[in-house]
Every structure is written in structure tokens, then in C-alpha cells.
Amino acid sequence: MMLNRAKLIKELQRVSDKLFTDDFMQSEFTRSVWQKIADDPTFAHKIRQLNVPWPVPSWCGRLDDLFLVDQTIEKYRVLAVDGSQIYPDKHQGSACCLINVGSVQLSYGVAEKPVQLDSEPTVFAGDEDADLNESPQELVNCRRQEFEFCAGLQHSKTVNKPDAPSIFLFDGSLIFWHLESKDKEVKQTFLVSYLDALNQFYEQKMLLAGYISLTKSKELVGLVRIALTELAHDYGFTDISKEVVQAVERMSDSQIVRFFLDPCTRTTVFKNHAKITSCYPVCLHPHFFYLHVGNEIVRVEIPAWIAQDQHTVDLVARMILNQAIKGAGYPVALAEAHEQAVVKGPDRDFFYHLVKKIGMTRKRRQIFSQKVRNKRGIRI
């Protein structure tokens, strides 16, 4: 018996109160707090005087401004990439690993091939980043993102044409949070590479956006948190318990904007002020907005050079919404890029089979751990 299902049922029942909480009352309270700060024209000025330990965004206009996004667009091109990997496996007796980047180009209303698919595998021997103080798995993750940007740049030359707008969609954040905790040398190595790629998109004026589904971001939640703590006296929240504040902190930005965002609308554009963004050039500084694509609210991240022009922001939102509608709730280009990139179980087996075969032709015997040997045959 691999999994005792009877015991599993009992375990799920034991934690069900934590998994499925009734947050209606807390949500209504948070809505009232949000409305207070949205109605206060001095709120943005007040928070600029504070020094809180969490990222606080900045914005123009009202906090709850919403903008209608036209869901139809007849002519445009979209480029999307996604990456997958086979991490180094010490049990396989080889330090090599694989990064596979899938890309897709979709063209609408223009006289050219409507769909172009590609995938590009790159194998690493395992010693390329030996001088960087980081785990092999984390280095592969950093390299994968670098390769995704490089693939986007390579294909952008055939996508970015004057006859129709075009956009490069990246699955993930343009704020490189994962580098904040890295060793100084690792951080510098990849930050320079990432920003150089983003700058090349800027130089050729290729629109780009990071698309984040099921976002867990809490930057707008942080504004509510400020109202309940640092500015509690200003808004009459002097008797709020610690438990109430903690319940608010468990919410996400998508829950906040659901208070006022309708399908096919977006929020105002916010400027992110995370510590890592101080390393970005002014033109690339990350901004974001939330977009209601119908079945969920997603976070869209864009660089400053796009965020500074509302017409361009509207165009980006329009193309993304159209992609999400075509993909039944998720951009069809990103979904297809993932399919091109994903490394499935048989692919993984084929990869290790090739490694073993090449080793045999070179008369190099591959040494497997006993763990792998046991997995290949069940003994009783």
C-alpha cells in the first residue's frame, strides 16, 4: 500500500478548518478599510512620510480607479516563451542538466504564418557555474530565466514589425525577487544579464509584460495594513486587535481589487518599490496593474517606459485580455509556450538514456546510486 487513504481522509478532516476558512466578515471589514483610504486624497502623501519594512507602491489618481479594457483587437502579434529543466541528479551519476525553452509566435490579422512553434534544449556539463556560491538547482533556475529572455530577444526580431502592434509575454515577474537573498556574486551575475535583456527590448521598443496568474502579491494589502497600524489613529482603528491585522495580512491583492474591479477592466498603474528595484535603470523600473480577465484577476508587470504612457498601457492590457479570452482564461500564447517547453517523464528518461549511451561510446561507465538501482526493480 503506497498511501493509506483512510488515514489521509482523517488528516484532511483534521486540518479542514485551516484549509477552508470563512473569511466573509473579514473581507467585508477589509473592504470598508480600503474604501476609507481610497476616499482619502491625502493617503498617498501620508504613507510617503512613513518608513515601513514592507514594499509600499506609489500611484497617481485614486486607489480604486478602474479602466475599461477593450477585449477585441484584430491585428497584433504575440511572442511568448517558457522554460523547463532537468536538474542535476546526483543519483544518476552525472552532474549534467538540461534547460529547454519553448517559444510561440502567434499572428492575427496579418499576412503571414499564423502560428510558429519552437523549442531549444541546452545541456550543461555541470561545471559552468562552479565559481558561483549557490546550489545547482538554484543556478539552473537562474539560468532558465536568462535563457527565456534570450529566446524572447532572438524571436522578437521577426515579431516586432511596424504593420501591427506586438508584445512579448513572459510567464512570471519582472521583479527579480529570487535574487534578493542570493550571494552577492550570484545576484550581480544574473541581475546584469536580466537587465541587459530588458534594455534590449526597450531599445527596439518591443512591448513586453510579465503575466502572473493566481498572484499572491500583497502590496495593496500592505496599504490596508498601514491604515490599521501606522495610521490607525487617523482612521479610527485604535481598538483593532492583533488577530484582525493578521487576518488582513493573510489576504492577497487580488482579493482587494475584487472589491471594485469588473471583468474586462484594469486598475491604475502602480510603481513597485522593492529593494531589488533600486538596481534597475529608470526606464526599466517595474510597474504593475491588476487585470480582470473574466475568471480571475491577474497581475501584469511592465517596465517604466511602457507605464509612463497610458495609451501604451491600454494597448498592452488589450492584447493580454484578448489572449486570455482566446485561451479560455489564460493567454493562449503562454499556454502553448509551456507545452513546447515542458520536459515530461519519457523525455527525462530519454535524456538519461542518451547520456548513458554517449558514455558507453566513449568507454566511460556511468555510476548510479543504489537508490536509482532499487527504483528500477522492486524486490521483496
Dihedral sign, Cα of residue 273, residue 279, residue 284, residue 290: negative
Residues 6+ apart with CB under 8 A from 79: 103, 104, 105, 152, 155, 156, 159, 166, 167, 168, 169, 333
Q: Name the band, by pLDDT with cuts 50, 70 and 90, for residue 83.
A: very high
Q: What does the pLDDT average to over 175-189?
A: 91
| Residue 171 neighbours by CB distance under 10 Å | 21
Calculate mean pLDDT across residues 167-184: 93
Three-state DSSP class for 281?
coil
DSSP 89: B
Write down the pLDDT at residue 303.
Answer: 98
* The pLDDT value given to residue 367: 52
pLDDT band at 270 (very low <50, low <70, confident <90, very high): very high
Residue 2 above 90 pLDDT? no
What pLDDT sits at residue 33? Answer: 95
Instruction: Quickly state the pLDDT bin for 378 (edges 50, 70, 90).
Output: very low
Written as nine digits, the cell of 313 is 498601457
Q: DSSP letter string over 247-280?
A: HHHTS-HHHHHTTTPPTTEEE--EE---GGGGGS
pLDDT > 50? residue 207 = yes
* C-alpha cell of residue 41: 486624497
For residue 363, what pLDDT is reported?
Answer: 58
> Rounded CA gap, 125 and 27, in Å?
51
* 288-317 per-position pLDDT tens digit: 999 999 999 999 999 999 999 999 999 999
**pLDDT tier at 124, thresholds 50, 70, 90:** confident
Domains of the chain: residue spans and CATH: 72-213+299-341 (3.30.420)
Q: Where are the beta strands (DSSP E) in 49-127?
A: 58-59, 66-68, 76-86, 97-108, 115-124
What's the pLDDT score for residue 314? Answer: 97
Q: Percent of the chain at pLDDT above 90?
A: 66
User: For residue 357, what pLDDT is reported?
Assistant: 77
Q: What is the pLDDT of residue 156?
A: 94
Instruction: Please check whether residue 216 is in contact with residue 180, taking contact to mean a CB–CB distance below 8 angstroms.
Output: no
Q: pLDDT digits over 138-161, tens only?
A: 888 999 999 999 999 999 988 999
